Structure 1
């Protein structure tokens, strides 16, 4: 009867004490005793990613074989599975289990890696870092590297495309029209791209910034129900609106609604749309429920999202963000809307309080629109009511062209 054996599990072993199992990629070894096996370990023991690196070298009379547990030639099974080797002690009849790792041995042909590529000597710092990431980087770094390489555009190709597009625009519009557009943009300063559509050659102030470009007839018809509800607000409700934050401009115009039905309906719809713009200026992002509590129609909600937000991607989702440039655009549209509601006159002080923007920034927006601003009264003997007087702006033809950069205060030089 054969003697019984028992199995004994060893304690947890470090990586240096693991048993080694080698496999050859180009065949099987007939006589393993003729192989000279040597293991090398990384000398950088302080680096947690490098201290576990091992290299096994097997030399025979014909070829040399090399296997590593890191790099592109390493086997992924070592990280997916745990391997064990059983060692039988014939005297005690006990089998000890030791953890092991597998090395894939590949033949090394002499002289294969002796040729040095001339590109290695002319590599830039960026290319060297990319090579290191490709060899030793994490999965996240490798994904970022592949994404950057896919999005890389050849500078020569980009230059040709830009030149072709520029020539097309020049042939279509002409140099005179382009120079005129550049002059108009420079006259409006940094805010020129965010003002409503402008017709500087209009005969009447109402047609300089047409109301139809802000609220189309379709928008007015969609806002009739919400505007009628806002026009029917009681005095107590208007007082609550004034005591709240951000609707002083709206409450002021609702308190002075005209008696004519058409004009009353127009001001009420504009007041409701103005309340949405002021509320949007205080938001960082909006969703599909924005304005639903106030009764905003879906067509107007889509218009707000399309005109005054920027689409960004966050955690795989599309978000409509209200950026800093969009806040300037909101301020300019609110100011033009107030002009149409107030006979081409608007209160800048109330607007800067409602929209949460500094008074200096609102003044810059008014200057970019070419509005006329009265000169401030100066004097120590002025009454408090005159010192706290609200700043009013008006749209008077021709539009005023301000030198935005020349009027900025310069630092005083020290004597």
Structure 2
């Protein structure tokens, strides 16, 4: 009986395993082109299930939601994924240029589709900036600067795609005469599709006056390229908003200079700009701990801005004048990410002329706070590798006044209140 039981138990284990059929697969990698884009991946952190509904889904979303992808007309790499449940006032939106998608991507993704019938494996890369976190919002109309992506919408017409391809080829390889002709036709088509372009024919004189008034209003409403400020402030301390220039959440990470002074160790002055090195005595003289921490944050932030500016200047222009390496590794991560968002162009990863002026404006404003709004610009001009004369327009743009009683004395920069800015120059229309 025992022998029979053993035979019964061992009988299933002796069955032959099913052999898996090997596939001879040919692999094809698809790249993104003008008429197609890489797949777009979106996920719902709110728990909404677009297929099965669920507790987090809107009550009216019984059918499959509509999915649309919009591409920015001026910046082709900016996409928006919009998922709209049927019959609901809530839609889910994800952007490739803001939020989680704009954070540094540490890995890349690809989507593979295996067709056993044809024994073909197609691998399509998924761009890192096309993984969207879909956040709920009330349904609104799409902004005018966004258009539906041609690679994903069914309404795109082949004729329009061919025409755009011909225009692209002409702009790349065509003669100057053909390029000028295309630009003229584009301008004429824009005017033809714009009904307001014909309004001046009815009343030319009246419209000219309205245009001048509108241009003046536009000049007045143009935001100035300077740090956050209050033009109607009655004291210099309130003219520029220090809480927005240095957020309170970052100040706990900007006490490195103060901690080094409290430790009693001799502070190495090489990594610091000359302006900061020459103002450390103010920290030692202050007795109020709150004022001392505030001043230490300003000096540390000036150091980080200076280091950040040197790094971007040296990366954009490999010059021997920037021999001092920018030690941006010591910049706190939270501060470094904020500076990246504020000053670095997300496409070119460089410092544009406008952002360079804004960054210098931040440094100059903080030096005014450190010196109680009466500062000698010699040190900061040396740090920025500029002269006092070349710094003068930057100070004037901030509403500052540079004065010197006689030629033997140094120039002094003050900040009169209320702020008076130079008039913005407006280009004449031809």
Give TM class, smaller chain. Answer: 0.3 to 0.5
For the pair shown, which has the larger CA radius of gyration, 1 or 2? 1
- TM-score normalised over the length of structure 2: 0.44
TM-score normalised by L of structure 1:
0.46
